[in-house]
Structure 1
Amino acid sequence: MIHPAIIRKQRLIITALLLLITGTVLVGLGLGYSSVSYDRLIPIFLQQGTFKENFVVFSVRMPRIIITVLAGMALALSGAILQGITRNDLADPGIIGINTGAGVAVAVFFLFFPIDVGSFVYMLPIVAFVGAFLTATLIYLFSYKKSVGLQPIRLILIGVGFSMAFSGLMVVLISSAKREKVDFIANWLAGNIWGSDWPFIWAILPWLVILIPFTLYKANRLNLLGMGDSVSIGVGLSIERERFSMLLVAVALASAAVSVTGGIAFIGLMAPHIAKSLIGPRNQLYLPIAILLGGWLLLVADTIGRNILEPDGVPAGIMAALIGAPYFIYLLIRKT
């Protein structure tokens, strides 16, 4: 039984985050290489804008903003799941190599397979999922010992090793690619929001529509997994089955996000931690807050990044790293 005061606090935080996201979206719609006056936004949404205003808002900025929010939500939830099933506060799909595994699969697909324009957008999340799943499986197997089970610190170290190895593999792939394809991989590595068109939204949205409610439904089992193996076994929970199924969900969310945003780390690390500090560690309470926080954090990173240096700006992945790396170091020091 959750105390009504805690539920009221959660609702207030969610309302505040929704307002923050809305405010940041409005700011982002007006800022950019081709600025749009804020007093013109309402007429534009009422279909009274000029051709240029409609193009900038509906064809350039709006899809990018929606993609950024959705990807941030997916990365935050993926990080929260990974932290729960590994009982390690340093787990993040970007840090432990899942994102780079997805990136290698996307790069191989992009470089060496025939691309059909109509299906390319929808194939990317599936290809990224295959790469991320294989990577996550290897990391899991190397981190698991039959006598003691999953070792959280070992998982982080092995994940970092895989991340570095796959980053090197990406460089090798770049060296053998054509110039126009090199640009794509370089943008992916930097965490540039490259999938900024409406079809990419329809490609990533079904993954979130299915997996977010599923994760919230499994929130109580995540609570049990976080308490330790002995407690989980004591209440009759099949630990390995539940852990593996939630690992699949985390991998699917991360791969769907990075297939359109590139290699973005630290969002899945920061959002769950901030959410827990606001409302506590119970998954039913903090997961919805972490999801919204992830969307807002990545949106802020992208909004700042694309307006620092015109016309290309700074990739959102680099901006997220500038914020998240010191936070990761702080958590690492606190845990050791």
Structure 2
Amino acid sequence: MRTRMTSVLGWLALLILATVAVALGTGEAPLSYGRIIPTLIGNGSMQEEFILFSLRLPRIVITLLAGMALALSGAILQSITRNDLADPGVLGINAGAGAGVALFFLFFPIDAGTFVYAIPLVAFVSGLLTAAVIYAISYNRTAGLQPVSFVLTGVGVSMALSGLMIVLISSTDRTKVDFIAKWLAGNIWGDDWPFIWAVLPWLAAGALAALYRAKSLNILHLGDAVSIGVGVHVRRERLVLMAAAVAVASTAVSVTGGISFIGLMAPHIAKLIVGPRHERVIPASMLIGGWLLLAADTIGRNVLAEPLPAGVIVSLIGAPYFIYLLLKR
């Protein structure tokens, strides 16, 4: 099984590299494929180096990291809620993080030196508050966490927060309205190197926490009765893992906008390929999620005359898949 897992991860990495190669050579600014490697090793012109290192590479890296974060969050949430429909976008966590970012952007003074690092923290706090409200509403003292109630509550909270954001942007100046509107559509805006260094520690910490507690995730997925029977402290493990899921999803949302369905689709695809054990699902989901978002962004920027946000492309694929899962259940 270990050999098969290594093979799967290797093929996924090759798929990502192939998509990265396509993304590097396509876009509004001209850069031929024959000039990519010379430019990477320092033999490109000033224009080629600017296009590659200032425009395309940071966008590709932040897109990959955000996709991995959303997929990791989805894998954790589907396990601790025992609901295959769980996704940080569907559950309202993304909307909560986005509402916090919007409030911070619209009403607080922005310092250029700290803005990049403050945005993920603001998104995490607001996403965590949203998750706490959803958890409190859907939790039953007798029966524990109710998976269906958790999802339905999340959908309701997400719609309420989206309405709040529309109200907020209706009363501010045009420049900020444009930014929030692009954010709502899932437009990847944090495409610069400082955002990468701001996001990377959050993703690394969340991934390590999830892998460290992979056995707990396996047991929690079987239900509260089984988990308690084998000695798992269900409430503590669920809260710790939910905090990790909220942290990585909120961080991704802070730089990519309101992107849903990556956290829904990637874990499902991973489970079909590598099985249900989270020691294998987590790394596979992260690679699949990174590739999905990168592919969506590359398609959105190059297929039509006017670029489409990555969130729109993902939704065109993810919404039918969500309906399929809903009908299947």
Interval containing the TM-score (normalised by the shorter chain):
over 0.9
Q: Pick one of 316, 326, 329 that aligns with 1:332.
A: 326
- Cross-structure match for 2:249: 254
Q: Distance in 1 between matches of 2:282 and 2:218?
A: 11
Q: Pick one of 153, 171, 174 that aligns with 1:179.
A: 174
Q: Give the 3-state SS of the residue equivalent to 1:118 in structure 2.
A: coil
TM-score (norm 2): 0.99
The one-letter amino acid paired with 2:320 is P
> How far 1:36 moved relative to its partner?
1.1
Q: Distance in 2 between matches of 1:7 and 1:232?
A: 26
Q: Pick one of 119, 143, 150 that aligns with 2:138.
A: 143
Higher alpha-carbon deviation: 205-214 or 92-101: 205-214
- Cross-structure match for 2:313: 319
Whether the 8 Å contact between 2:215 and 2:279 is mirrored in structure 1 is yes
- Cross-structure match for 2:65: 70
Q: Give the 3-state SS of the residue equivalent to 2:249 in structure 1.
A: helix
Q: Distance in 1 between matches of 2:303 and 2:34?
A: 23
Q: Pick one of 11, 17, 20 that aligns with 2:12.
A: 17
Q: Does structure 1 residue 209 correspond to structure 2 residue 209?
A: no
Gaps of 5+ in 1: 1-5
TM-score (norm 1): 0.97
Q: Does structure 1 residue 245 correspond to structure 2 residue 240?
A: yes
Whether the 8 Å contact between 2:75 and 2:281 is mirrored in structure 1 is no
Q: Can you list the C-alpha shifts for 1:117-152, whole angstroms capped at 9, x where unaligned?
A: 110010000000111001000000110111111100
- Cross-structure match for 1:46: 41
Higher alpha-carbon deviation: 209-218 or 242-251: 209-218
RMSD, aligned α-carbons: 0.8
Q: Does structure 1 residue 127 correspond to structure 2 residue 122?
A: yes
Equivalent residues in 2 for 1:37-116, closer than 5 Å: 37-116=32-111
> How far 1:46 moved relative to its partner?
1.4
Q: Give the 3-state SS of the residue equivalent to 1:192 in structure 2.
A: coil
Q: Distance in 1 between matches of 2:254 and 2:97?
A: 7
> How far 1:209 moved relative to its partner?
1.7
Q: Give the 3-state SS of the residue equivalent to 2:260 in structure 1.
A: coil
- Cross-structure match for 1:263: 258
Q: Can you list the C-alpha shifts for 1:72-125, whole angstroms capped at 9, x where unaligned?
A: 000000000000000000000001100000000000000000000110010000
- Cross-structure match for 1:231: 226
- Cross-structure match for 2:160: 165
Higher alpha-carbon deviation: 238-247 or 6-15: 6-15
| Seq. identity, % | 61
Q: Can you list the C-alpha shifts for 1:204-227, whole angstroms capped at 9, x where unaligned?
A: 001112221121111001011011
Q: Distance in 1 between matches of 2:33 and 2:172?
A: 43
Aligned length: 329
> How far 1:185 moved relative to its partner?
0.3
> How far 1:35 moved relative to its partner?
2.6
Q: Distance in 2 between matches of 1:303 and 1:211?
A: 26
> How far 1:287 moved relative to its partner?
1.2
The one-letter amino acid paired with 2:142 is S
> How far 1:42 moved relative to its partner?
1.0
